[in-house]
Amino acid sequence: MNRITESLSRLRAQGRKALVTYIVSGDPYPEASLPAMHALVAAGADIIELGVPFSDPMAEGPVIQRGHERALAAGTSLRSTLALVSAFRESNRDTPVVLMGYANPIERMGYRAFAEAAAGAGVDGVLTVDLPAEEAQGLNSELKAAGIETIFLLAPTTAPARAERIAAMASGFLYYVSLKGVTGAGHLDVDAVKAKLAMLRELTDLPLCVGFGIKDAASAKAIAASADGAVVGSLLVDHMGAAAAADSEAIAAGLVQRVAPIRAAINEMN
């Protein structure tokens, strides 16, 4: 069983909610990423999303855009991100890792070559932000053959009929975007999210993880009340930028300080 499915199934059986944490691979410099991943796990992350740096990260707000810029300036690529996952797997065989990125670097590598390399590195899921489900059959089939989950975004504006089609193609979990707009922006309407998730649960049995707009322990706890998992990204990437001149140990310690209270708040749901 894929690590994502195993982890989320176990949490659901325990009545617990998942904490999904996002950082950009190679941000603020490559040597910081591996200690950062281990720090996220130590602080209570159930799943790690690794952003694959891209020159035009259209779904991202200013904070995460700057993270992509820092990582690209430091020489990070899709291949080096896969190498990072391989290094992580040397000492962690349990925590699911999802690559969240854009289609162009994957297309340049080739769908089959990418899927095989990702599986070999220990990647568990892929979320390609700018590849609509209707155009994802080629990549989806290669990922499925490699044992990798294909995760799709659902937006507040996604019609029920389209949401059902997307859910039928997805695996692992569905990533519900809590806000109209880019990451880290806007006001989080918890009641609206709750209503949308209730509708989605009529369409799919896949776990529903919610991101965009979760900035602290209180908002994570509020979302976790109705979602299967809360995704925290901008808060962590903002720390990576603020600590860019620090050594990797200090960066990792700062992540623990930010993630641990969120984990504790979500645990209060149990």
Q: Is 49 a catalytic residue?
A: yes
Locus of tokens 């799943």? 47
Active-site residue identified among 60, 90, 107, 135: 60
How high is the pLDDT of residue 189? 86
How far is residue 92's CA from residue 251's CA, in Å, rounded to a whole number? 20
Which domains does the chain carry? 3-268 (3.20.20.70)
Instruction: Give the C-alpha separation, 53 to 72, whole Å.
Output: 6
Say what the pTM is. 0.96
Helices (H), 96-232: 103-109, 111-121, 137-145, 160-169, 190-201, 217-224
- Judge whether 79 and 123 are in contact, CB under 8 Å: no
Tokens at 253, concatenated:
């310690």
In this prediction, residue 58 carries a pLDDT of 83
**Spatial distance between the Cα atoms of 14 and 166, rounded to a whole number of angstroms:** 27
107 included as an active-site residue: no
Residues 6+ apart with CB under 8 A from 269: 16, 17, 221, 224, 225
On whether the CB atoms of residues 84 and 34 are closer than 8 A, the answer is: yes
The predicted structure's pLDDT at residue 193: 94
Q: Could you tell me the CA-to-CA distances from 106 to 34, 53, 117, 127, 237 in Å, in that order?
A: 22, 12, 11, 11, 23
- The reported pLDDT for the residue numbered 179 is 77
Calpha distance 153→129 (Å, rounded): 7
Q: What is the pLDDT of residue 186?
A: 57
Q: Which of 31, 49, 134, 268 is catalytic?
A: 49
Contacts of 195 (CB under 8 A, 6+ apart): none
Angstrom distances, CA of residue 150 to CA of 32, 80, 140, 185, 238: 27, 21, 6, 25, 27
In this structure, what are the phi and psi dihedrals at residue 225, rounded to the nearest 5 degrees? -65, -30
* Predicted pLDDT of residue 59: 80
User: Residue 120 has what pLDDT?
Assistant: 99
Task: Tell me the C-alpha distance between 70 and 64, whole Å.
Answer: 10
Tokens linked to 102: 């854009």
42-76 in b/e burial notation, b at 16+ Cβ within 10 A?
ebbbbbbbbbbbbeebebbbebbbbbbbbbbebeb
For the chain, which residues score pLDDT lower than 50?
none
Q: Provide CB contacts within 8 A for 141, sequence distance 6+.
A: none
Residue where the block lists tokens 């009641």: 191
Q: What local confidence, expressed as pLDDT, does residue 181 receive? A: 53
pLDDT (tens digit, 9 = 90+) per residue, 129-178?
999 999 999 999 999 999 999 999 999 999 999 999 999 999 999 999 99
CA distances from 111 to 56, 114, 115, 140, 233 (A): 20, 5, 6, 9, 27
Please name the helix (run of DSSP H) or strand (run of DSSP E) that holds residue 32, with its range, or none: helix 30-42
Alpha-carbon distance of 158 to 164, in angstroms, equals 10
